[in-house]
Amino acid sequence: MVPESSVPLRIDAHQHFWLLANRSGQWPPAELAAIHRDFLPQQLAPLLKQHGIDGTVLVQSLPSVTDTLFLLALAERAPFIQAVVGWADLKSRNAVEQIALLASHRKLRGLRPMLQDLADDWIADPLLEPAIAAMQRHRLSLDALILPRHLPALLAFAQSHPNLPIVIDHAAKPPIASAEMTPWREHISRFAALPQVYCKLSGLVTEASSVWQEGDLQPYADHILDVFGASRVIWGSDWPVVNLAADYGRWLATTESLLSKLDPLQRQQVMGLNAQRFYRL
């Protein structure tokens, strides 16, 4: 649990750890040199202290129960990890048992099926229903790692599962590098009426051009805030993936500037209060 404090806590609600030796040549590939190495709590802890971040949500980056168990073990040893979002094979015959096993760990708060690598309508398969019901029984949320093309199917899924908390990772990865807003803008706007759906203000810099400026991101951040309101937007660093396009400090400073039009309470919501509520920290 996050300790009570008179000062609102700042939570990084999206970060990763990995050991390349555990990944058998899977992501990240060697050509992504900036992140093709081990990343563990001892590398992140100094950055959190430097930038005044009080805790994190550790998110899976490999579709593996074994990897999720590894992350849960790290979370037991690193107090700053307040929650873990893991992975389970939601269509497997033993999905319900997998979910129960993972949910027995005190810091598991959600699952992420890595939808960006799957068919647009994967989320609509009735075979998922036992797993979704199990997630709800165990009070788990769904992190939706998607691309803009997945938004219509996710919308229909969210409409039919009003009691499942959902957060859209990286704002569904809008095509910032090409400065396109449509159809992403129209599709994501339709989530405004679904109070159980949140959106992460994360991962934007890696969707921008290599010479991105804050102004490139502002229209997307503004639209996210218009759609979801400050009470349903959650900040995350996406560290260490953010290192492909910036670093922890630059993205945090950019975020603070992107949010400068908000009042103090709204900024506190985005930077920590919403993560505490969504992930039950």
pTM: 0.96
Question: What percent of the chain stands above pLDDT 90?
Answer: 95
Which residue's entry shows tokens 């490999």? 62
Give the Cα separation of 5 and 11 in Å (integer): 13
pLDDT digit string, tens, across residues 212-240:
999 999 999 999 999 999 999 999 999 99
H-state helical runs in the chain: 41-51, 65-77, 95-103, 129-137, 151-160, 184-189, 214-228, 248-258, 264-268, 274-278
Q: Are 108 and 82 in contact (CB under 8 A)?
A: no
Q: Average of pLDDT values for 251-278?
A: 98
DSSP 88-139: --TTSTTHHHHHHHHHTSTTEEEE---GGGS-TTGGG-GGGHHHHHHHHHTT
Per-residue pLDDT reduced to its tens digit, 64-82: 999 999 999 999 999 999 9
Region 114-134: mean pLDDT is 96
CB-CB neighbours of 68 under 10 Å: 25
Running DSSP on this structure, what letter comes out for residue 163?
T
* Inter-CA distances, 239 with 17, 178, 214, 243, Å: 9, 23, 18, 7
Query: Which has the closest alpha carbon to 108: 136, 66, 141?
Result: 141
Residue 36: pLDDT over 60: yes
Please, are residues 198 and 168 in contact by the beta-carbon 8 Å criterion? yes
The yes-or-no verdict on residue 1 having pLDDT over 60 is: no
> pLDDT tens digits, residue range 84-99?
999 999 999 999 999 9
CA 243 remoteness from chain centre:
16
Cβ atoms of 15 and 239 within 8 Å: the answer is yes
- Going along the chain from its start, the domains and CATH numbers come out as 11-278 (3.20.20.140)
pLDDT at 12: 99
φ, ψ at 166 (rounded to 5°)? -130, 140
H-run or E-run covering 83:
strand 81-86
| Distance of alpha carbon 242 from alpha carbon 258, whole angstroms | 17
